[in-house]
């Protein structure tokens, strides 16, 4: 069997190694448009500030290393430009030499990811405006910082990447203004939880402008004009207002797309052509809680989907039940995390819900270093079904959200949270853990 994979990072590279583990003989060809495969996208903001000092640490695998270790045929600098479904071939263009050729497949796997959204504003083409998706993007930002020593920056977009970039720029000594069109940062959480994050941003010297978007960028990228009429001086602009699925290949090939452009797949991640699978940031998924189609560009789903696709190609059926959207971000001394649906999303969908808010300590108050956690759990009063949870605090936030995410996937309801027997000693928790406490308060 010959499997051709498009995209060599989270989903694509994982699929390739999974396939090799499951089948020693399969012919596996992977095309990656860029130079690098299997790099750590999630680490990029942290190398810009030097928190992750060694650039090499972000390059998890080399083409040669991975080919040798897994007996793969990985071709970088190779863009797949078309899919011919009738003939079962793909067209490839070598991005450096321009050489074009075709390659046949029995099974095709698409993991092309998503690209940063860039609104059609001429000034965003200025040389001091950057988006961040891959190693070359990171290198360009770092080079600009070193070459120009900017004293101020405007980060546009208060999502995960915007927040991480804002923090890392502050670490390099730059004055940062963060502009967000919504009235809050961190879209997936509710406003009162985001407010804690916003205080932390301000406490660390970031000027936060909420409920205002950009309309124009002028004077070679040195002036950012906002909808309110406000004009910001900018030596550096980071544009992080979200991503759009890389769906051109799929669309041109006539594969079905969802309303927001994500490639449509079934529970086994097959597209409308069963010989073609798709995964990762490029696909539309089902929201695990409310069953609606959605787009959730995160690394866990891409990895999980790669595993499922690898197995399906080898005859084992594991269904993908949808995405919960569990996510986490560090904002200076705080951690903010969420899983499942927010209150505002449920309200929009007209789903009735109940909420508990608690503010316990991360561990026993008499042991040094205990910090308050703001924990919110959203559930159905009738059935106890957990719709989602959000937490913000300095310590122990990741654990509580991960426990609740596990409870949701395990089918536990909010009242069952009382019964979770969790590890306790004073440096780690309390005899009644915050997660237990949420269960008690809910009942």
Q: Residues in the site for ligand FAD, rule: CB under 6 A?
A: 6-12, 31-34, 41-42, 44-45, 79-80, 111-113, 132-133, 161, 246, 249, 280-282, 297-300, 302
The distance of closest approach from Cβ of residue 34 to ligand FAD in the complex, given in angstroms and rounded to an integer, is 4
Whole-angstrom distance, CA of residue 78 vs CA of residue 74: 9
Q: Which residues are bridge partners to 237 per DSSP?
A: 129, 154
283 and 114 in contact (C-beta within 8 Å)? no
Q: Which two tokens stand for residue 217?
A: 């960028």
Burial 414-440 (b: 16+ CB within 10 A, else e): beebbeeebeeeeebbbeebbbbbbbe
Q: Dmax over Cα atoms in the chain, in whole Å? A: 70
Phi, psi of 113 (to 5 degrees): 75, -155
CB 136: neighbour CB atoms within 10 A?
11
DSSP state, 288? T
Of the two residues 112 and 340, which places its CB atom closer to ligand FAD in the complex?
A: 112
CA distances (Å), 100 to each of 103, 113, 245, 443, in order? 10, 23, 25, 64
The distance of closest approach from Cβ of residue 339 to ligand FAD in the complex, given in angstroms and rounded to an integer, is 12
117: Cβ contacts below 8 Å, ≥ 6 apart: 241, 242, 243, 244
Q: What share of the chain is helix, strand, coil (3-state, %, to 5)?
A: 30, 30, 40
Burial 393-406 (b: 16+ CB within 10 A, else e): bbbbbebbbebbbe
Active-site amino acid positions: 42
Of the two residues 34 and 396, which places its CB atom closer to ligand FAD in the complex?
A: 34
Of the two residues 79 and 354, which places its CB atom closer to ligand FAD in the complex?
A: 79
Of the two residues 32 and 433, which places its CB atom closer to ligand FAD in the complex?
A: 32
Whole-angstrom distance, CA of residue 211 vs CA of residue 428: 39
261 and 278 in contact (C-beta within 8 Å)? no
State the residue number with the nearest CB to ligand FAD. Answer: 280
Pairing state between β 243-245 and 223-226 = unpaired
Q: Helices 299-313 and 10-22 sit at what angle, rounded to 10 degrees? A: 30
DSSP state, 426? T
Of the two residues 158 and 434, which places its CB atom closer to ligand FAD in the complex?
A: 158
The distance of closest approach from Cβ of residue 172 to ligand FAD in the complex, given in angstroms and rounded to an integer, is 16
- Residue 61: name the closest of 92, 37, 31 by CA: 37
358 and 389 in contact (C-beta within 8 Å)? no
Of the two residues 325 and 360, which places its CB atom closer to ligand FAD in the complex?
A: 325
Whole-angstrom distance, CA of residue 386 vs CA of residue 436: 14
The distance of closest approach from Cβ of residue 155 to ligand FAD in the complex, given in angstroms and rounded to an integer, is 13
- What region, left, alpha or beta, does residue 373 occupy, with left being phi > 0 and alpha being psi -120 to 50 degrees? beta
The distance of closest approach from Cβ of residue 141 to ligand FAD in the complex, given in angstroms and rounded to an integer, is 11
Of the two residues 217 and 238, which places its CB atom closer to ligand FAD in the complex?
A: 238
The distance of closest approach from Cβ of residue 114 to ligand FAD in the complex, given in angstroms and rounded to an integer, is 7
Of the two residues 45 and 188, which places its CB atom closer to ligand FAD in the complex?
A: 45
């Amino acid at each position: 069997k010959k499997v051709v994979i498009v995209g060599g990072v989270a989903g694509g590279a994982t699929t390739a190694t999974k396939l090799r583990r499951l089948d020693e003989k399969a012919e596996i060809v992977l095309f990656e448009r860029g130079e690098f495969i299997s790099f750590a996208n999630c680490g990029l903001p942290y190398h810009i500030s030097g928190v992750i000092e060694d650039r090499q640490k972000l390059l998890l695998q080399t083409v040669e290393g991975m080919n040798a270790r897994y007996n793969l045929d990985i071709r970088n600098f190779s863009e797949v430009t078309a899919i011919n479904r009738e003939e079962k071939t793909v067209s490839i263009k070598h991005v450096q030499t321009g050489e074009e050729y075709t390659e046949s497949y029995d099974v095709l796997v698409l993991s092309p990811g998503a690209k940063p959204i860039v609104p059609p504003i001429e000034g965003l083409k200025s040389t001091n405006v950057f988006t961040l998706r891959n190693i070359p993007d990171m290198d360009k930002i770092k080079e600009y910082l070193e070459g120009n020593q900017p004293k101020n920056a405007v980060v546009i977009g208060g999502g995960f990447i915007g927040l991480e970039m804002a923090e890392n720029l502050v670490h390099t000594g730059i004055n940062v203004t963060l502009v967000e069109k919504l009235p809050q940062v961190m879209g997936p959480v509710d406003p009162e939880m985001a407010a804690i994050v916003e205080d932390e941003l301000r406490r660390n010297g970031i000027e936060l402008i909420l409920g205002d978007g950009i309309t124009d960028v002028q004077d070679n990228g040195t002036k950012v004009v906002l909808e309110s009429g406000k004009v910001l001086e900018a030596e550096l602009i980071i544009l992080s207002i979200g991503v759009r699925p890389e769906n051109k290949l799929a669309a041109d090939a006539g594969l079905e797309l969802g309303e927001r452009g994500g490639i449509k797949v079934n529970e086994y991640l097959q597209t409308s052509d069963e010989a073609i699978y798709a995964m990762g940031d490029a696909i539309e998924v089902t929201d695990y809680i409310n069953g609606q189609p959605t787009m959730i560009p995160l690394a866990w789903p891409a990895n999980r989907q790669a595993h499922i696709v690898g197995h399906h190609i080898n005859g084992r059926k594991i269904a993908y039940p949808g995405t919960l959207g569990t996510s986490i971000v560090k904002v200076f001394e705080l951690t903010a995390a969420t899983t499942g649906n927010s209150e505002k999303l449920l309200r929009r969908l007209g789903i009735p819900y109940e909420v508990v808010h608690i503010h316990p300590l991360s561990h026993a108050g008499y042991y040094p270093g205990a910090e308050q956690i703001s924990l919110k759990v959203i559930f159905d009063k009738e059935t106890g079904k957990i719709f989602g949870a959000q937490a913000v605090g300095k310590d122990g936030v990741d654990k509580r959200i991960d426990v609740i995410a596990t409870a949701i996937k395990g089918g536990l309801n909010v009242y069952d949270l009382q019964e979770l027997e969790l590890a306790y000693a004073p440096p780690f928790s309390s005899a009644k853990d915050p997660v237990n406490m949420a269960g008690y308060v809910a009942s």
